[in-house]
């Protein structure tokens, strides 16, 4: 597992700035205003920062962007980075500034001279998120990554305030690791093993194996994994920080590799289907974050872990399977498998835990990428209040999301002649008909959101993440829980 970068907070010390041997990052307002530590660097560099602030190059920079100044005079630091950031900068610009600092550090030691900047915590969060690198399978082992030293006027207060965001960042990194792992490493068994290890954090974790799933009647989920040597599993994680209240539920699709099954995908790009367990990875990351920050809420995370492979036992197009709910489903296309997994675990979650609300996440459809690209996730909901709360949390964390429609007209597209429903309504409105399918497994009195994250799970690099998995959704869902379900 990729460990979060080491971050330490120390008190302002202008006299030590010239002796710092690591890279240095400073912040400066658009108009050239400087905090005491930046002024010290400017003095040591004989007014170079002041001249930069008066230049056309500085004027053209966006907030959160930076200029690197190598080999600064009268300093031991090999390079100084100057980040354009006002004291009243937005949270998004402040996170971007921290990410720019981490990219500048490049895995080496770096000292951030933030002094009394009011967005020091958010800057540090951005740096922690961007410092991630997935190198576990590289044969040439890199040196141990450097750490970040954050020089601030009140290190104790800043350290305490940053503890929660850094715990959430650790959850994001856990999600990224899961998504980035190849399928020969992250089998269904290995995925479950990594979740069981989170018992050490205080989570209750239970793994249901195929005999138990058969007993529960999860014929829909089990049909997906019939052609794989990897056994299908359902993992349940519980964080009990909210007393006797009913839990809030997170439900995730965990297809560790998706060939499409008998409806085989084209070879080009199939290697990307290691990320088809992105929904389960986000649920797992949120649960880790809640445990690390000791959230005052009851939350249950349920993930269905399967592999969709073609062999003589695999489900065929035209097969009819029976869900845990009792509804029958004709499998028109075995590549529309994620909804078959979610159908059973959505029903199981409601029957077992009667949650006060429920969010499912899945890398579900290519159609959502056609609609929204790689920047924005699709949001479908039966409850305006819960949906509004999530969209607010997503906006606050900079995780773009857009509400999509539901409606009976779309529902007709999955009606079926030979079974209660079919598992795909065709190409037109594909993400919407997938959501309509899932809604049939949501009880009318359960507030519910479906997040189609096919476009946002692994489109990196982004400002906050390198190439590969982004961990989209961990921060937004953690904020939703903090704002709406913590006492």
CA pair distance 218, 348, nearest whole angstrom: 9
Q: Say which residues have a Cβ less than 8 Å from residue 64's Cβ, sequence separation at least 6.
A: 83, 84, 85, 89, 92, 93, 94, 95, 96, 97, 99, 100
Query: Inter-axis angle of helices 430-439 and 338-353, to 10 degrees?
Result: 30
Distance CA 451, CA 398 (A): 16
The CA distances from residue 13 to 38, 96, 153, 199, in Å, are: 12, 25, 9, 41
The one catalytic residue in 119, 293, 339, 475 is: 339
DSSP secondary structure, 174-187, as one string: HHHHHHHS-TTTS-
User: How far, in Å, CA of 214 to CA of 223, rounded?
Assistant: 11
φ/ψ (deg, to 5) at 273? -75, 5
Alpha helices in 64-119 (DSSP H): 91-105
CB burial of residue 457 (10 Å; 0-12, 13-18, 19+): buried
Indicate if 194 belongs to the active site: no
User: How crowded is residue 81: how many other Cβ atoms within 10 Å of its Cβ?
Assistant: 22
**Cα 326–chain centre separation:** 33
- Which pair of structure tokens corresponds to residue 140? 């040439």
- Cα gap 432→406, rounded to integer Å: 6
Out of 194, 238, 265, 392, the active site residue is 265
Concatenate the DSSP letters of all residues of 15-55 into one string. GGGGG--SEEEEEE-TT--B-HHHHHHHHHTTTHHHHHHTS
199 catalytic per annotation? no
Catalytic residue IDs: 265, 339
């Amino acid at each position: 597992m990729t460990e979060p970068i080491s971050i330490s907070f120390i008190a302002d010390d202008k006299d030590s700035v010239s002796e710092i041997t690591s890279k240095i990052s400073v912040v400066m307002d658009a108009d050239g205003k400087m905090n005491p530590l930046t002024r010290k660097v400017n003095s040591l560099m004989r007014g170079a920062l002041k001249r930069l602030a008066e230049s056309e190059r500085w004027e053209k920079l966006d907030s959160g962007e930076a200029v690197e100044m190598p080999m600064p005079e009268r300093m031991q630091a090999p390079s100084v980075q100057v980040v354009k950031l006002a004291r009243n900068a937005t949270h998004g610009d402040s996170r971007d500034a921290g990410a720019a600092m981490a990219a500048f550090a490049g895995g080496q030691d770096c000292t951030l001279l933030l002094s009394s900047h009011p967005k020091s915590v958010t800057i540090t969060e951005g740096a922690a998120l961007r410092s991630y690198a997935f190198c576990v399978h590289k044969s040439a082992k890199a040196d141990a990554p450097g750490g970040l030293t954050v020089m601030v006027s009140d290190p104790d207060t800043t350290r305490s305030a940053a503890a929660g965001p850094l715990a959430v960042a650790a959850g994001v990194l856990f999600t990224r690791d899961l998504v980035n792992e190849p399928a020969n490493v992250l089998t269904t068994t290995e995925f479950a093993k990594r979740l069981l290890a989170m018992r050490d954090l205080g989570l209750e974790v239970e793994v249901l194996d195929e005999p138990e799933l058969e007993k529960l009647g999860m014929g829909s989920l089990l049909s997906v994994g019939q052609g794989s040597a990897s056994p299908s599993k359902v993992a349940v994680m519980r964080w009990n920080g909210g007393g006797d209240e009913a839990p809030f539920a997170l439900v995730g699709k965990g297809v560790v590799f998706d060939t499409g099954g008998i409806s085989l995908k084209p070879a080009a790009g199939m290697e990307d289907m290691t990320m088809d367990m992105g929904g389960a990875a986000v649920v797992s990351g949120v649960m880790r974050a809640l445990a690390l920050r000791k959230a005052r809420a009851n939350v249950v995370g349920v993930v269905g872990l399967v592999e969709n492979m073609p062999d003589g036992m695999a489900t065929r197009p035209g097969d009819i399977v029976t869900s845990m709910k009792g509804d029958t489903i004709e499998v028109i296309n075995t590549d529309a498998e994620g909804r078959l997994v979610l159908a059973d675990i959505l029903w199981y979650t409601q029957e077992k835990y009667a949650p006060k609300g429920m969010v499912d996440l899945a890398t579900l459809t290519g159609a959502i990428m056609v609609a929204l690209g790689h920047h924005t996730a699709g949001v479908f909901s039966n409850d305006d209040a819960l949906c509004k709360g999530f969209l607010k949390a997503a906006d606050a964390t900079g995780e773009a999301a857009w509400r999509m429609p539901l409606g009976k007209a779309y529902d007709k597209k999955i009606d079926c002649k030979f079974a209660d429903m079919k598992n795909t309504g065709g190409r037109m409105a594909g993400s919407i008909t997938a959501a309509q399918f899932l809604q049939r497994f949501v009880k009318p009195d359960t507030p519910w959101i479906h997040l189609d994250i096919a476009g946002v799970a692994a489109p990196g690099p982004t400002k906050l993440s390198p190439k590969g998995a982004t961990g989209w959704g961990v921060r937004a869902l953690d904020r939703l829980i903090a704002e709406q379900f913590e006492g």
